[in-house]
Amino acid sequence: MREIAHEVAVIPGIIANAYLVGNAASWVLVDAGTPGRERKIAAASEARFGRGARPRAIVLTHGHFDHAGSAGPLADLWSVPVYAHPLELPYLTGRARYPPLDPTAPGFFSALSRLFPSTTVNLGGRVAALEAHRSAPGLEEWECLDTPGHTPGHVAFFRPRGAVLLAGDAVTTMNLDSFLGTIAKRRQVCRPPVPATTDWERARRSVQLLAALRPTLIAAGHGTPMRDAAGQLQALADRFPMPAYGRYAHEAVRADESGVTYLPPQPPARRLR
């Protein structure tokens, strides 16, 4: 755990990051890592805020297993609610399943996605909906921004004071398309994780929205937080790289508050030239 901005600290994970936002009097956990991370996150929280520290809430940028995985045990430990966008709730309560990851899409992480689940955790009654046009509980200084594309209800958080962006998976700060970029975690503002992004046109518009904020710090779900990278983010928005092929490359998943309503068909196997 280390501080990356005033009242913002990152808890790095092998797969995904979690963030502590606030001070000892009032703080929240943004994203909860993969399953089994609850002890590390709780220990980091106590190291930062003191023994017995308890957040006001756990807030999720989206419900994928690598961001919501330890939310249930932590919610039970702290006796606090979990919040997510209404369009994420079907998947987090077991009423629906996320679209399958797409290993047919380009890039290193797409090939690796065969090893990861498309399912996520069932938070049952622990999870509640973020209210539209209102700050997330415990994040009154932060703007909650709808940034769909990676998932239907993906959100990001922006604090105008200091221009700090918690981007979730709307962007990454490492190149998951590259083996070397993934292993070395070289700092680079890149598109969202390809095999799990199911609406590329909306993902592009979300990146454009974030770029217009000109953040001085970009803290994403994957990669090391980056300072002075607004130019890279704008370049990504200006020349957003749509995947050339894959299940979701040319046709998007459609979803509502009940879950997925349309799933593009699995593409035929690509022939090697």
Q: Residues 156-169: pLDDT tens digits?
A: 999 999 999 999 99
Asked if the structure places residue 79 within a domain, the reply is yes
Closest CA to 206 of 158, 249, 147: 147
| Residue 270: pLDDT over 70 | no
Asked if the structure places residue 80 within a domain, the reply is yes
DSSP string, the chain: -EEEETTEEEE--SS--EEEEEETTEEEEE---STT-HHHHHHHHHHHH-TT---SEEE-S---HHHHTTHHHHHHHHT--EEE-GGGHHHHTTSS-PPPP-TTSSSHHHHHGGGS-S-----GGGEEEPPTTSPPTT-TTSEEEE-TTSSTT-EEEEETTTTEEEEETSSBBS-TTSHHHHHHT----BPPPGGG---HHHHHHHHHHHHTT--SEEEESSB--EES-HHHHHHHHHT----SSSTTSSS--EEETTEEEE-PPPPPPPPP-
pLDDT tens profile 92-127:
999 999 999 999 999 999 999 998 988 999 999 999
Asked if the structure places residue 273 within a domain, the reply is no
Quickly state the pLDDT bin for 135 (edges 50, 70, 90): confident
pLDDT of 273 reads 44
What rounded mean pLDDT belongs to the chain? 96
Share of the chain above pLDDT 90, in %: 90
> What gap in Å lies between CA 22 and CA 45, rounded to an integer?
11
Quickly state the pLDDT bin for 181 (edges 50, 70, 90): confident
pLDDT of 271 reads 56
Residues 62 and 84 sit within 8 Å (Cβ to Cβ): yes
Asked if the structure places residue 267 within a domain, the reply is no
> What gap in Å lies between CA 15 and CA 118, rounded to an integer?
15
Asked if the structure places residue 14 within a domain, the reply is yes
pLDDT of 183 reads 86
Q: What is the pTM of this model?
A: 0.95
Q: In which domain, by residue range, is 238 found? A: 2-262
Asked if the structure places residue 269 within a domain, the reply is no
pLDDT tens profile 189-242:
999 999 999 999 999 999 999 999 999 999 999 999 999 999 999 999 999 999
> What gap in Å lies between CA 194 and CA 88, rounded to an integer?
19
Cα→Cα distances 204→110, 176, 209, 217, 235, Å: 19, 17, 9, 20, 12
Contacts of 244 (CB under 8 A, 6+ apart): 106
Which CATH number covers residue 134?
3.60.15.10
Asked if the structure places residue 34 within a domain, the reply is yes
Q: What is the CA radius of gyration of the chain?
A: 17
> What gap in Å lies between CA 143 and CA 123, rounded to an integer?
25
Quickly state the pLDDT bin for 272 (edges 50, 70, 90): very low
Closest CA to 156 of 108, 198, 212: 212
What is the domain count for the chain?
Answer: 1
Share of the chain above pLDDT 70, in %: 98
Asked if the structure places residue 271 within a domain, the reply is no
pLDDT tens profile 58-68:
999 999 999 99
| Mean pLDDT calculated for residue range 130-141 | 90
